[in-house]
Amino acid sequence: MGVRFRGWGMAVPDRVVTNDELSQTLDTSDEWIRERTGIRERRIGGSSGSLGALAGQRAMADAGVSADSIDFVLLATTTPDRIAPATSTAIAAELGLTCPAMDVNAACSGFMFALRTAQGLLETGNKRILLVGAENLSRWVDWNDRNMAVLLADGAGAVVLDYDENGGDILSFVLGTDGTAAELLTCEHGGYFQMDGKEVFRRAVRVVVDSAQEAMERAGITSEDISLVVPHQANIRIIQAAAQRLGIDMERCVVVLDRYGNTSSSSIPLAFFDARENGRVHSGEYALLTGFGAGMTWASAVVRWS
Ligand code: ACO
């Protein structure tokens, strides 16, 4: 499989909203939010298009590639700025691109589903893809609902992906959907996110563990070989429970939800960016990327950085 990760970028709004600030208007507390979710603060503001374009620009600069070499823009988002046109077209325009651009929505698994789509595009003739995860979840939060308001946030992450005929960084991919669980986590047109948090929690741990185990098996490795886990950032307790079942200690798991909350499609690229900035990504090592989201959807991939 010939997909190489070339360069990464991220963008978050400047506005920091702390747990204490939320506690001023909601019946909640910093202590409850930190203990039950791991979140300390989050970023709120911007739009999926503006944050996505900035993250994309930074990923291209990081990769050292020019905009005219990109031949496809894929945006993973649950919160497009408009129903039409696709927000990816706004990102393409902002970056001066006229190549094909489209949105992918698989909720919090969106980045992984779009990565799988990018893989298919690269293996069938495309040379270089800009893959962006961008969310503006705050727009779809009822700020009087403590169940959702403490969790969701805004942000974007992006990666440049190249085709390499000599091999690739993605060793295995496992994705799935259970549409019968749709009502557990929804957002209607003009409405707000609503969730059965307990049931999402329970199922999330199961699908992450099952898909991760299968992805490792397909890659011919075990959890001992994994140096880094880049999980979807929903709740520290979900990450801890899944890691424990997989036999992976928390030191190998990337956690950024304390600073950014749950940014859905953006959370895996944000977490990866943070890990790389902190010197945790090393050539030749195995990483597990894993996520879950509304749908329900789930996805795990084993990656070996080149
Ligand atoms: N502040 C203070 N108290 C609260 C809050 C809050 N924000 N929310 C709930 N409580 C109270 C409840 O009312 C309950 O009180 P009670 O015992 O008097 O009834 C108590 O705290 C415990 O509530 P639980 O719902 O049992 O809390 P839990 O430990 O399950 O944590 C949470 C709730 C954080 C939502 C957790 O279930 C969770 O993380 N679920 C998964 C969320 C997730 O991963 N979402 C998916 C992605 S989102 C997307 O796709 C866009």
In this structure, which residue's CA is closest to atom 40 in ligand 1? 197
| N-term to C-term CA, the chain | 13
Q: Which residues of the chain are modeled with pLDDT < 50?
A: none
pLDDT at 283: 93
Query: Taking the model in full, what pTM does it have?
Result: 0.96
Tens of pLDDT, residues 111-129 = 999 999 999 999 999 999 9
pLDDT number for residue 306? 84
Three-class DSSP category at 210: helix
Atom number in ligand 1 closest to CA 294: 50
Q: What are the angstrom distances between the C-alpha of 88 and each of 63, 85, 100, 228?
A: 20, 8, 9, 30
**What's the confidence (pLDDT) of residue 272?**
96
pLDDT at 47: 98
| Confidence at residue 1, expressed as pLDDT on a 0 to 100 scale | 59
The catalytically annotated residue of 187, 232, 235, 253 is: 232
Q: Which domains does the chain have, with CATH numbers?
A: 3-163 (3.40.47.10), 170-304 (3.40.47.10)
Distance 97 CA to ligand 1 centre (A): 42
Q: What b/e readout covers 205-237, taking b as 16+ CB neighbours within 10 angstroms?
A: bbbbbbbbbbbbeebebebeebbbbbbbbbbbe
Residue nearest to atom 2 of ligand 1 (CA): 28
Q: Rounded to the nearest whole angstrom, what is the distance from the C-alpha of residue 201 to the centroid of ligand 1?
A: 9
Model confidence pLDDT, tens digit, residues 77-94: 999 999 999 999 999 999
